Amino acid sequence: MSYLAVKHLHMSFVALSGILFFVRGLLMLADSAALQRKFFRVAPHIVDTLLLASALVLVVWSAQYPFVQSWLTAKVVALVAYIAIGAFALKRGGSKGVRAAAFVAALLVFAYIIKVAVTRQVL
């Protein structure tokens, strides 16, 4: 498999991961029982695992590493923030208001990660 093929797979997993998070967030805001379906409990983990695996392949093949390349460092730090904020948005936020604010914040961090990936600029 070529670098370009893995890059396109990675971008596809990014899109799927974002779509799944967005839909899960909307379901959470609507208090929908659909959020408890097996698909929404399993699919995000599969997609995110494949996303991480493709990212690791790209890092190794390109020899561009976090903590060496500032833009990759920014993506990793933002990813950790996205995961933490996303957990508050979907599960850990006590009230719906907190979860809604965390949902919006997580979407903004997700957009930042994409912006950094596209531009390779931290700010």
Question: Over the stretch 98-115, which tens digit does the pLDDT of each residue have?
Answer: 999 999 999 999 999 999
Question: Over the stretch 39-66, which tens digit does the pLDDT of each residue have?
Answer: 999 999 999 999 999 999 999 999 999 9
Domain spans in the chain, listed from the N-terminal domain onward: 3-119
SS3 label, residue 120: coil
SS3 label, residue 66: strand
SS3 label, residue 109: helix
CA distance 109 to 103: 10
Question: Over the stretch 21-39, which tens digit does the pLDDT of each residue have?
Answer: 999 999 999 999 999 999 9
- What pLDDT is attached to residue 89? 96
CA distance 120 to 48: 22
